[in-house]
Chains A and B, each alone.
Chain A
Amino acid sequence: MARRKRWTVLAFLSPWLIGVVVFVLYPIINSLYWSFTVKRYGQPARWVGLGNYRLLLDNPDLSMALKNTAYLAVLGLPIRLFIAILAAALLARPRRGNGAYRLLFYVPSVLPAVASGALFFFLLKQGGPVASLLDLFGIEAPLWFRDPDWAKPALIMVGTWALGDVMLIFLAGLVDIPRSLYEAVEIDGAGRWARFRYVTLPMISPVIFFTILTGVIGVLQSFDQAFVLSQGARKGRLTGEPDGSLLTYAMLQLRYFQDGRIGVASAMAWVMFLITLVITVALMTSRKRWVHTSTENA
């Protein structure tokens, strides 16, 4: 009877199981295998052991792409989250026109990253609206995406503009905090900072954790805006060269895909997976120390 029940359960689960095996597990295992091979479209894979990984380590562009990606994660992400929390805190307060403000903040995140990249490219170029505006005040506009000192900060600025999705998550977290908690600390004489420090921050810490985790993963995969703003993978290497280059890890990976070298591109995917795994484990480990959970609350 138990065996029959087990088969029934499996039968009901089978659409999902088949989907996972075919569309998730198989590609993952396949890409791991391909990372140890020379593989091209239309040809069987040929085993080369660690050859692709050695090749990657010899590529000086790899360290540049990793550094750029880390820069965007370490500097860009905190700025984005800070501004998103600030915006959410302002918009959480009931006031007239709040709906319109929320909409204004959210709309940029609806735009595809490619479109927002193209928009900023037009806005920030020499002779463009921003440069013309600065010129009115006698200020020379920087070469946003060509000057090494400006290229990556400009990219962070463009990324921060579209923070509506993160802001919305924070907004939901803030609105969800019970009023009674604020009333309790106010009775204890807490001021504005103490309310934020001892109520707001702990209560939205799971949201902060979630946005950091997804944000880091998103930055590690960042491609589209840097690609558009540097007008292509090669220019990504060239833009703001050398230190301000916009070449991200995913853009470097495209270089191998363009040549149809699936083996090396797969090796790059696994290197990035390992990096992501280490960061995720580190974040998960630190979670207990600073993220407030309902279990702890209980």
Chain B
Amino acid sequence: MSIVLVAGCSGNDSSGSAETSDAGGSTVVSAAPVSEPADTRAPDATTDTTAKAEFEPTTLTLWAGVTDPEGTVAFQGIVDRCETDNPWLTIDFVGKDDMSTALPAAIEAGNPPDLVQADFSGQLAGIDAGGLIEPIDDLFARDGLDWGAFVPGGKELVDFNGQHFGLPFSLDSAALFYNQDALTAAGIDAPPATFEELFAAAEKLLAVNADGTIERVGFVPDVGDGSYALFLTRLFGATMFSDDGATITITDNLDQWVAALQWQKQFFDLMDGDEFSRWADGLGSYDSADNFFINGQLPLYFEGSYFITWPDRFGEGKPENWGVVPMPGPDGVADADELSLIPSGNFFMIPTGVDNLDASWEALKCMALAGDEIAAFQQVYGNIPANVAALDIFEAAAVAQIPEYQTFIDLARSPAAVLPDSAVVAGALRDEVSSLILDYRRGDLSDDDLRGALEDLQARYQEELDLELGN
């Protein structure tokens, strides 16, 4: 393989690169400067932000977490764009829905794909510890790329302990969905903007039948498994791991944890526990017209941006009047610039042990910086593009279609993005804290017990973490 030179993978048809010299019959093109602030560039500015190389004809295998027909067609658009812009490149795109097991196994076996697109948010500590993915910092600096091409949360998504493990693709920023008709019927004019308003709305919206069964729940942090409840603790500044993933930090901010869980419990205390279980057990399929938000069983619902497509996809126009606002926090609704909850996101990465790192990197850049094609793809799924050029295109198209996208886009652009923290024991500890949240919610743990239980978890998992890391 011979790398001949550098220039851009276009996110659209314009080149934007300057032809400067000739080397051995190959056209040599220099990359345009990349330090221009992202928010001042035109949507097609991705053309200028990357480096193009010419290689021997190369076929790369790409594993992507995209398997449904509609998404596959849209994702193929990104692939086609990069093949067009890089005539030396052929990408074999393979949809994978078992990425978390298939990828480590392939790397361990010494037969990894050349590129990967997946959601490994909150798992970077394990990726780092296993050396599964190539950090891209040297390549990024070599090609003079600028993180300004991505929203801040995108950079955060691929960052662990100061290293970056790929380029971001999408963010699933989260906010509060509300059913305006239900609010109006309950005498509530506007969606809640403070914790007090949220609790008052939850009280008013709760509908209990004469026999004690629950018809409608106003708001709960999650509908049963404790997973979003866990992430909502970040509203109170409750963290689980240090930035380097080597320390459990629960007891460092125990007061925040307790405050967060007490706040959550008050919503469940509005209802009889058994009746809530009965209500939750009777909820319809999530991916259907029986979805609890669509059919009005839960008019206030904290969820990621992807859910914005649900009313159209499954609701057949229901609920009729719905909207989205940022999730209220302890001090009211924070400006998106001050706090943005992003529970997950997707990124492109290069597994360790690939045959042709430079070729993989060129393809990775091209795919992560595509403009129109990423914007089109994310409109299928409702996630927010992480590269600024694609986001600009997406914003113009998606908001015109569904204005509620604007809230998620503002949150995705936030410089104060909060993403899942990470450690090599993260999955197990999250499971246990989620269980503990439910114990506390049901009243099986008192406030004092809660502190003790959190301290016990901290001690036990710090020991596990030390064992894993060899500390």
Contact = CB atoms under 8 A, between A and B. Distances in A.
**Candidate in B130, B428, B463 with the most chain A CB atoms within 10 angstroms:** B428
A152 interface: no
Contact of B352 (A42, A51, A233): A42
Interface stretch (B59-67, B369-377, B434-442): B434-442
B22 interface: no
A147 B280 CA distance: 12
Contacts of A61: 432
B176 to A, nearest CB: 24
B225 A51 contact: no
Contacts of B434: 234, 238
A143 interface: yes
Interface stretch (A90-98, A106-114, A252-260): A252-260
A98 B145 CA distance: 74
Pick from A41, A46, A59, A234 the residue with the most CB of B within 10 Å: A41
Contacts of B460: 58-59
Interface stretch (B74-82, B102-110, B259-267, B403-411): B102-110
Nearest to A232: B225
A48 B467 contact: yes
A125 interface: yes
Interface string A99-133: 00000000000000000000000000111000100
A59 B464 CA distance: 10
The majority secondary structure among interface residues of chain B is helix
B227 interface: yes
Interface residues of A, number: 37
B426 interface: yes
B100 interface: yes
Interface in B237-295: 274, 277-282, 284
Interface in A44-68: 46, 48, 51-52, 55, 58-59, 61
A235 interface: yes
A279 B290 CA distance: 47
A241 B438 contact: yes
A61 B107 CA distance: 31
Contacts of A233: 431
Interface size class on chain B is 35 or more
A146 B281 contact: yes
B467 A51 contact: yes
Nearest to A231: B225
B224 interface: yes
B468 interface: yes
Contacts of A261: 424-425, 428, 468
A19 interface: no
B130 A234 contact: no
A194 to B, nearest CB: 49
Given A46-B470, A55-B464, A41 B130 contact: yes
Contact of A42 (B104, B279, B432): B104
Given A143-B277, A259-B425, A235 B225 contact: yes
Interface string B67-99: 000000000000000000000000000000000
A127 B278 CA distance: 10
B425 A234 contact: no
What DSSP secondary structure best describes chain A's contact surface? loop
A243 B460 CA distance: 22
B99 to A, nearest CB: 13
Interface in A241-288: 241-242, 255-261
B438 A256 contact: no
A195 interface: no
Interface in A209-256: 231-235, 237-238, 241-242, 255-256
A292 interface: no
A114 to B, nearest CB: 14
Given A42-B104, A43-B130, A234 B226 contact: yes
B467 A260 contact: no
A260 B225 contact: no
Contact of A242 (B225, B444, B470): B444
B63 to A, nearest CB: 15
Nearest to A43: B130
Interface string B451-471: 000000000100110011010
A169 interface: no
A113 to B, nearest CB: 18
A259 B424 contact: yes
A145 B278 CA distance: 10
* Most chain A beta-carbon contacts within 10 A, residue among B104, B130, B278, B431: B431
B126 A40 contact: yes
B427 interface: yes
B190 interface: no
Given A126-B278, A259-B427, A261-B424, A237 B435 contact: yes
Contacts of A199: none
Interface in B406-426: 424-426
Contact of B435 (A41, A234, A257): A234
B427 A258 contact: yes
A30 to B, nearest CB: 12
Q: Which of A58, A61, A238 has the most CB of B within 10 A?
A: A238
Given A40-B130, A42-B352, A238 B108 contact: no
A235 B460 CA distance: 21
B33 interface: no
B353 to A, nearest CB: 8
A40 to B, nearest CB: 4
A258 B470 contact: no
Nearest to B278: A126
A260 B130 contact: yes
Contacts of A235: 224-225
A260 B122 CA distance: 13
A249 to B, nearest CB: 15
B428 A256 contact: yes
A256 B428 CA distance: 7
16 contacts: A40-B126, A41-B108, A51-B467, A58-B460, A59-B460, A125-B282, A145-B281, A146-B277, A234-B434, A237-B435, A238-B438, A255-B428, A258-B427, A259-B126, A259-B427, A260-B104
Interface of B: 100-101, 104-105, 107-108, 126, 129-132, 224-227, 274, 277-282, 284, 352, 424-428, 431-432, 434-435, 438-439, 442, 444, 460, 463-464, 467-468, 470
Nearest 4 interchain pairs by C-beta: A126-B282, A41-B104, A42-B130, A40-B130
Interface of A: 38, 40-43, 46, 48, 51-52, 55, 58-59, 61, 125-127, 131, 143, 145-147, 231-235, 237-238, 241-242, 255-261
